[in-house]
């Protein structure tokens, strides 16, 4: 297969799974660069909704051969779109090239200017933090505007991708699924952490670590690799580039906290930032911000490190979070605050509940959880039980079965998860289908409370319904409120 280059990308491109995080970002960048686009997805999502305001045709529903535009010159498909999709087969019959998102990424990510963010958790938030740090440093150096391709909508920028200016740095989220991150050769990189994930694809943690080691080995030997404190040694040992690691070359000094929002300073080789006040909650975001700051500073060798550190810190403070990452959905005005998070791995569930405890002290934590894939639920059943035990009450909706064509033979669902939670005396119930789960969940919320809606599936669409059901239970006007 011939590798695509920016000059070799056809002008007329059709996207399959266009509502996917990565594919939609490619669409935004190509649209900004003058390509003519169309796109299809089987189901709505927040990302799909965000694309509807852009100037290209989108179709929603079952995939059929007729849905492939007659003038398509290239088809780009999400990894979640199977090879036997009717439009894929139709494109092949017409001799129209079909490429996965991973195959197109190198055409958008120039090696000398690409900075990649990888890791099992935190790469979306860290990716946008890196972009903001680069923006801060770029303002100081009067450098070109950085580009970005990150798997989530930045709340400040209201996009998940930016074309940037010619010659600018390009921050990209480098996903390990389908070994996508091995398609690029970045100048610098971040690895936030490495855990067992996407085991429907990798089958073992050893295979995951091997892939991350290959990713780090592909970083330019004149560049910089920044690692989280728990990244395995074998990953670091694979690097030819300079390595900075949290807890060694990089030290975090916590300054304070208020309702889960932290202030800290970061010290690195020959430099230190001023105090950084984060605009997003969670102690895990301190480490994410530290990694982003360090890479933005470290790649600018030869400049005044103190000024670079201050500029990167200023950029990080402008970051206001990512959609679906501890995203406030508001409340009912009667002592209930609702937060949605994309968390679908046990570690993500655990740290999200911890952040909620800090942000909403002295509140009960009620969790509506939609497991993502039967195979992931089965593999991590005990870990999910341990992560959710910190909640006061849990309603588990039916499993969202994304990527069912690769979900394997291991299955567990809401019933098994609820049984595990009950065995450790957590108030947990099966919610059934999502609509029923929302109803049952809302009925049991007692004020004052923090309501967490967790999951990476279509649970993101219950916002209006849940808020309405909570509002219907609000006290009558004049009644006492907590």
End-to-end CA distance of the chain: 63
Fold topology of 109-317: 3.40.1190
Q: Which residues partner with 60 through β-bridges?
A: 41
Which CATH code is given to the segment(s) 8-105? 3.40.50.720
As to burial, measured by CB atoms within 10 angstroms (0-12 exposed, 13-18 middle, 19+ buried), residue 127 is buried
447 to each of 61, 141, 332, 363, how far by Cα in Å?
40, 51, 10, 8
Q: Which residues partner with 405 through β-bridges?
A: none
Q: Is the pLDDT of residue 95 over 90?
A: yes
Looking at residue 186, its pLDDT comes to 95
Give Rg (Cα) of the chain. Answer: 22
Q: Is the pLDDT of residue 476 over 50?
A: no
Per-residue pLDDT, averaged over 347-365, amounts to 92
Q: Please, where are the H alpha helices in 325-390? A: 346-359, 374-379, 381-388
Looking at residue 45, its pLDDT comes to 76
- Show the beta-strand stretches assigned E in 96-228: 98-100, 114-118, 147-154, 159-162, 170-173, 188-191, 224-227
% of the chain at pLDDT higher than 70: 94
Looking at residue 405, its pLDDT comes to 46
Checking 302-305 for CB contacts under 8 A at 24+ apart, the result is 303/141, 305/270, 305/271
Q: Enumerate residues 6+ apart whose C-beta is below 8 A from 379.
A: 196, 199, 410
Q: Enumerate residues 6+ apart whose C-beta is below 8 A from 178.
A: 79, 100, 102, 201
- Give the span between the Cα atoms of 114 and 172, in whole angstroms: 7
Tens of pLDDT, residue by residue over 1-15, are 556 655 678 999 999
Tens of pLDDT, residue by residue over 57-70, are 999 999 999 999 99
Looking at residue 333, its pLDDT comes to 64
Residues of the chain with CATH 3.90.190.20: 327-472
Residues of the chain with CATH 3.40.50.720: 8-105
Looking at residue 51, its pLDDT comes to 87
Who has greater pLDDT, 202 or 421? 421
Q: Is the pLDDT of residue 99 over 60?
A: yes
Which CATH code is given to the segment(s) 327-472? 3.90.190.20
Q: Is the pLDDT of residue 187 over 90?
A: yes
At residue 43 the predicted structure's pLDDT band, cuts being 50, 70 and 90, is: confident
For residue 268, what is the enclosing H or E element?
strand 261-268
Looking at residue 303, its pLDDT comes to 78
Of residues 343, 337, 416, the one with CA closest to residue 374: 416
Residue 203 DSSP code: -
Looking at residue 230, its pLDDT comes to 92
Q: Are 48 and 40 in contact (CB under 8 A)?
A: no
Tens of pLDDT, residue by residue over 204-214, are 889 999 999 99
Q: Is the pLDDT of residue 296 over 70?
A: yes
Residues of the chain with CATH 3.40.1190.10: 109-317
At residue 481 the predicted structure's pLDDT band, cuts being 50, 70 and 90, is: very low
- Show the beta-strand stretches assigned E in 46-118: 57-60, 74-77, 98-100, 114-118
- Give the span between the Cα atoms of 370 and 191, in whole angstroms: 27
Could you tell me the pTM of the whole model? 0.84
Per-residue pLDDT, averaged over 441-469, amounts to 91
Side-chain half-sphere CA neighbours of 246 within 13 A: 25
Place of tokens 């405890």: 357
């Amino acid at each position: 297969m011939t590798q695509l280059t920016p000059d070799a990308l056809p002008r007329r491109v059709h996207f399959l799974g266009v509502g996917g995080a990565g594919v939609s970002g490619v669409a935004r960048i190509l649209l900004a660069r003058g390509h003519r686009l169309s796109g299809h997805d089987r189901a709505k999502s927040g990302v799909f909704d965000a694309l509807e305001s852009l100037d290209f045709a989108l179709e929603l529903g079952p995939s059929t051969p007729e849905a492939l535009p007659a003038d398509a010159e290239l088809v780009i498909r999400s990894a979640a779109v199977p090879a036997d999709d009717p439009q894929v087969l139709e494109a092949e019959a017409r001799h129209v090239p079909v490429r996965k998102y991973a195959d197109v990424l190198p055409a958008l990510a120039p090696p000398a200017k690409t900075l990649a963010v990888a890791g099992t958790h935190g790469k979306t938030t860290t990716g946008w933090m890196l972009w903001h740090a680069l923006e801060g440093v770029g303002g100081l150096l009067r450098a070109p505007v950085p580009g970005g391709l990150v798997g989530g909508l930045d709340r400040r920028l209201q996009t998940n991708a930016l074309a940037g200016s010619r010659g600018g740095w390009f921050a990209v989220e480098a996903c390990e699924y389908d070994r996508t991150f091995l398609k690029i050769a970045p100048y610098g990189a971040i690895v936030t952490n490495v855990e067992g994930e996407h085991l429907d694809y990798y089958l073992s943690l050893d295979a995951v670590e091997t892939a991350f080691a290959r990713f780090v080995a592909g970083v330019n030997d004149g560049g910089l690799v920044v690692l989280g404190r728990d990244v395995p040694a074998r990953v670091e040992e694979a690097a030819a580039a300079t390595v900075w690691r949290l807890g060694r070359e990089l030290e975090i000094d916590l300054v304070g906290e208020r309702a889960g929002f932290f202030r800290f300073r970061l010290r690195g080789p020959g430099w230190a930032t001023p105090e950084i006040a984060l605009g997003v909650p969670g102690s895990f975001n301190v480490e994410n911000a530290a990694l982003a700051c360090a890479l933005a500073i470290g790649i600018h060798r030869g400049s005044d490190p103190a000024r670079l550190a201050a500029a990167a810190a200023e950029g990080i403070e402008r970051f206001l979070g990512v959609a679906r990452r501890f995203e406030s959905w508001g409340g009912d005005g009667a002592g209930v605050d609702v937060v949605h998070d994309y968390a679908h791995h046990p570690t993500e569930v655990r740290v999200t509940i911890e952040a909620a405890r800090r942000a909403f002290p002295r509140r009960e934590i009620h969790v509506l959880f939609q497991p993502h894939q039967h195979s992931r639920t089965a593999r991590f059943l005990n870990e999910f039980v341990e992560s959710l035990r910190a909640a006061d009450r849990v309603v588990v909706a039916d499993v969202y079965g994304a990527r069912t064509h690769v979900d394997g033979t291991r299955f567990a669902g809401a019933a098994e998860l609820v049984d595990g939670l009950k065995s450790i005396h957590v108030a947990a119930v099966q919610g059934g289908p999502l609509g029923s789960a929302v109803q049952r969940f809302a009925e049991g919320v007692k004020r004052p409370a923090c309501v967490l809606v967790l999951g990476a599936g279509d649970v993101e669409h219950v916002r209006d319904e849940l808020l309405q059901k909570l509002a219907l239970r609000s006290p009558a006007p004049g009644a006492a409120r907590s």
